[in-house]
Amino acid sequence: MIRWIAFRLNYWFGALGRRVAQIIGLILLAVFVGLVATYYVLKPSVPESADLWKINRTPAMTFKDSTDEVIGSRGGLHTKPVRLTEFPEHLRLSFLTAEDRRFYDHGAIDWWGVLRALFVNVKQGQIVQGGSTITQQLAKNIFLTNERTLVRKVKELILARELEKLLTKDDILELYLNRIYLGAGAYGVEAAAQTYFAKSARDVTIAEAAMLAGLAKAPSRYAPSSNIELAQERAGIVLKTLHDEDVITDLQYILALNNPASVFNRSISGDINYFLDYVTWEVDKYVTSPDVDLVVYTTLDRYLQTKGEAAVKAIIDDEAKARLVGQAALVSLDTNGAVRAMVGGLSYRESQFNRAAQAHRQPGSSFKPFVYLTALEQGMKPTKVYQDAPVRIGDWQPQNYSNYYRGRVTITEALQYSINTVAVRVSQDVGMENIVATAHRLGITSELKANRSLALGTSEVTLLEMTAAYVPFAKRGLSADQYAITRIETENGDVIYQRVAPQVVRLFSRRVADDIGHMLYQVMYQGTGKAAALADRPAAGKTGTSSDWRDAWFLGYTPDLVTGVWLGNDDNSPMDHVTGGGLPAKIWHHYMTAAHKGMAIAQLPGAFPARDVATDKELRDYLADLSRQFKRVKRRPKGRRRSSGFWPF
């Protein structure tokens, strides 16, 4: 060829032609060598066909609740391979029609398809069609990333040719249908059918097959779990193509259009994903870079989760939002520390940030129980009297919420009415470092600054750790580590992690536990937390409001459950005078009332009024106990004194 060109040029132009021919020849040789070199440099290796089912396969995590029911998944959702002959014909043809109509007629590359797509794209002035064959898509899905570069495209073409040499067309289509990503974490047609329609791909209808085939173009955009209308619109296009190609009859086309596929309602709220995200982070503590599918058994109680979400949505209505409440969170633990419910925000679809586990906020007065617990451990009694009056420490003068001062009050009353001046005075007496140590001992993991405002809850913490730190109050001074995972297994049932309950230790004495329990009961009996009080059983807790109404909290417990609620705004902007004793207390009451329905009433130590007259039975029982103590004191030998316990009147 080059010699012919040289001859013609020499004939036409003489010596100049020979020179031009030599240059052209060198250029063509350089291009040929470059192409060969590029091919061998970029040529990836293709493993044996048996490995193609597993290579670069994204591991999946399936989560189960406390009753071993599946509640969700993370990572790639895979199923066991389904053979090509097991898929219904209308499903196979739907994918072929939508993605590669000439699949069985061309090689790895459909050059007519490439030219057709190029013509359409030039005509439209933008990329509206792609020329990738099913073999190319399979090569990309298995071996490559989604980056749009020339190098990646060349590798895709090379790998597609290698796959066509290694496998039959049926093998390629079978692998494609089992490996293609179809949105919502589902890899393969079988996983997608189970995810969206709760059935096997073997049983999908024509309308459902068209919807699945339509997902291949843009799985995240067309996923019916997030946008059913768009998915149905895309499925309609696939159905029309099937009809135009005579794959389905007129009657089948009309029936499929009039009965579009819909997503199976699993009655699991999308907001449960806040909990699933949290558990996913926790899995990393026990399993590093898993290369197999995992089954994670969690502590979630689906009934309580539903009630938690309902309680938040029932209270955070338009009126609450008018008061500039932007977000809410709820966490509920049992007294063993197991997470039973977690609401990380008002809508997971709108924001995936988990305010229950990730947001560090000022707890306000809900931190004060750690101050008074420290005082009780140092020997102070609930009847200890302090002066509620203006207090100044250097240039700092903390104010009470109401700017009202009561004069002489007990520390029980100070906690009951959330009096700031007394909390600050007590913190000065017991020592800031001691308070920090107490809070950390009970479960606070965030850094706490031992400054003069510590008692007023100015160090930022998460709702989850605050709720966990209240569990020892409910357990009468005993420890309980917070947890959300009980067991992790491989898909084959091999146990990777099994939780072993840690040894329970006493964090503070029963006497101190009863005293702090009594004080926290007053908060709900006749203090700032009255709105949270339960009608049929005793409970204890504490309100919390940070400066300028930026955060509103309620933390409380019964002998069965410990629950925390937080309200605020992600940008830390103020709410309209929302306090912990208002909306958070109402959410807590709403949830705990539903959570305890049908549950036996358990006694709460210290749950009796401090000053008001109790019920006849409570009063008779209490006076009888005092009488027994008085008789024992009278019989005690002279010279021996007994330390007086808590005196409530």
Active site residues: 99, 365
Element (H, E) at 557: strand 551-557
Alpha-carbon gap, residue 168 to 288, rounded angstroms: 37
Alpha-carbon gap, residue 232 to 224, rounded angstroms: 8
Q: State the sign of the Cα–Cα–Cα–Cα dihedral 62, 66, 70, 74.
A: negative
DSSP one-letter code for 573: P
Cα-Cα end-to-end distance for the chain: 114
Say how many C-beta atoms besides its own lie within 10 A of residue 500's C-beta.
Answer: 6
**Is 262:113 a contact under the CB 8 Å cutoff?**
no
Q: Between the CA of residue 31 and those of 19, 37, 269, what are the distances in Å?
A: 19, 10, 59
DSSP one-letter code for 297: E
Element (H, E) at 311: helix 302-315
Q: Is 17 exposed, middle or buried (0-12, 13-18, 19+ CB in 10 A)?
A: middle
Alpha-carbon gap, residue 332 to 340, rounded angstroms: 6
Alpha-carbon gap, residue 110 to 32, rounded angstroms: 23
User: Is 226 in a helix, a strand, or coil?
Assistant: coil
Q: Given the DSSP bridges, would you call strands 327-334 and 385-388 parallel, antiparallel or unpaired?
A: unpaired
**Is 497:286 a contact under the CB 8 Å cutoff?**
yes
Which residue, among 369, 477, 361, has the nearest Cα to 423 in the 3D structure? Answer: 369
Element (H, E) at 485: strand 485-490
Tokens standing for 459?
């160090």
- List own/partner pairs for 130-136 with CB under 8 A and 24 or more apart: 132/156, 133/100, 133/103, 133/106, 133/108, 133/109, 133/160, 134/95, 134/96, 134/99, 134/100, 134/103, 134/172, 134/173, 134/176, 135/103, 135/108, 135/160, 135/163, 135/164, 135/172, 136/108, 136/109, 136/160
Tokens standing for 640?
């021996």
Q: Between the CA of residue 238 and those of 91, 245, 248, 580, 590, what are the distances in Å?
A: 11, 11, 11, 54, 48
Tokens standing for 19?
């020179």
Tokens standing for 644?
């007086």
- Count the residues in the chain: 649
> Can you state the angle between helices 368-377 and 463-474, rounded to 10 degrees?
40
